[in-house]
A = this chain, B = another copy of it.
Amino acid sequence: MTKTTTDELASKGLAAKRAARELAKVTGGVRNRALLNIADRIVEQQETILDANRLDLDAGTEKGLPDYYLDRMMLNGERLEAIASDVRGVAGLPDPVGEVIEMKTVPNGLQVGRRRVPLGVVGVIYESRPNVTVDISTLCLKSGNAVILRGGSDTINSNTALANIIREAIADAGAPRNAVQLIESTDRELVGKMLEAREYIDLLIPRGGQELINRVARDAKMPAITGGVGVCHTYVDKEADLDMAMDIVFNAKVQRYSVCNAMDTLLVHSAVAPAYLPKMAGRFAEAGVEMRCDRRALSLIGPSNGSGVLQVIPASEDDWSTEFLALIAGVRVVDSLDDALDHIETYGSGHSDAIVTEDYSAAMRFVDEVDSSAVFVNCSTRFNDGGQFGLGAEVAISTNKFHARGPMGLKELTSYKWTVMGSGQVRT
């Protein structure tokens, strides 16, 4: 770690902390003006952004980065328009700051309430997706928080260009430009330093793979959101509407398989497995889903026919606890709701789990007993999402139980203070 790198974190951390205090006094109108400025300028100054992005893409191509990765890094006019449109959407959301959560008058006449306030400084470590730079900056700004951004080194030029535009747009609205700080050092040790920087960072959000999240969970000295890994189940009960179960399971696995709320393991009650599994296997085969099956599921579906259409192999023990993020599904036959609940408790990650059933008591038990951030009856696990739940925006999905669980929207980026208005009361 060079001295320069440590200095950068310290100076930007201090600047963010001071800006957070200033920003806490800025009205929602000014914060919204800043957001609309950002949206306008991302479109107006797109040449500057795209030039910087071109530098990143050229360097990435030279390094031999794979195409899917380069695609994630890539910006163009259309993508920038979409990003700007999202920013305008955030400006239009209700202001979480200043909301009075409850206000009551207690017997001695004191008016006691809780008022939402920003958390302070949010630190975010993320991979090489420049849209995250805008996304996180604007959600933090809307919720009155300063932010320290540490994006992937492969998009450092794009991120720098975007952060410059964002900071100018904030300043022109009359808010503190230092509320957004981008760490420019690409020194890898900087992540370790961020995990220690509890004097500057009030909440740390890692947006990345399992390795980063595990490291943050283990080493962060400040509160952190360390969820995001979803080993998600759908249980098809013996009283399921099997057509509905087919659609729900297909959607949960196939509609977007690279995300945390996609289904990983299909559990099917043995009473309906013979009628259900062969048909479901057919649907999966059409979509190119590989099925990793327990012994009983295997015997019902049959082994791969070798045509490359039906992809069926025996599951390994590890498959049950794997987040596939791919067109792969574990498939297991169970003999009861209890067996399904046991499987979910043993192998799940507490993210998103669903039951398909017409049996009232089975549905109630599933909702009561599955200890996950979101539990679903007769619908797809893919709905575990801030937008779908009506939060308007999503910062992350938490599988922690502390502070926030499941999709985190703007309110989950706030704290509160107690306000007590009196007329001379003393305690006796």
Contact = CB atoms under 8 A, between A and B. Distances in A.
Interface of A: 21, 24-25, 104, 106, 110, 112, 114, 117, 119-120, 202-203, 218, 221, 223, 241, 244, 247-248, 250-252, 255, 345, 363, 367-369, 371-380, 382-384, 388-390, 400-403, 405-407, 415-428
A423 B356 CA distance: 9
A405 B415 contact: yes
Contacts of A104: 390
Contacts of A382: 426-427
Contact of A378 (B117, B415, B424, B428): B424
Contacts of A120: 401
Contacts of A390: 104, 106, 112
A382 to B, nearest CB: 4
B221 A427 contact: no
A64 to B, nearest CB: 35
B223 A422 contact: no
A367 B419 contact: yes
A25 B341 CA distance: 13
Given A223-B223, A426-B380, A418 B255 contact: no
A373 B417 contact: yes
A331 B319 CA distance: 66
Contacts of A21: 345, 371
User: What is the oligomeric copy number?
Assistant: 2
B406 A418 contact: yes
A237 to B, nearest CB: 14
Max chain B C-beta neighbours (<10 A), residue from A251, A376, A384: A376
Contact of A405 (B248, B416, B422): B416
A403 B400 CA distance: 11
Contacts of A417: 371-375, 405-406
Nearest to A426: B251
A214 B65 CA distance: 45
A142 to B, nearest CB: 18
Contacts of A380: 425-427
A420 B244 contact: no
Given A203-B402, A401-B119, A377 B112 contact: no
A424 B247 contact: yes
Contacts of A203: 402
Contacts of A117: 371, 401
Contacts of A223: 223, 400, 402-403
Contacts of A369: 25
A373 B424 contact: no
B375 A425 contact: no
A248 B424 contact: yes
Contact of A106 (B119, B202, B388): B388
Contacts of A114: 406
A163 to B, nearest CB: 25
A241 B120 CA distance: 34
Contacts of A374: 417-420
8 contacts: A25-B369, A106-B388, A248-B426, A251-B427, A379-B422, A405-B415, A405-B416, A406-B417
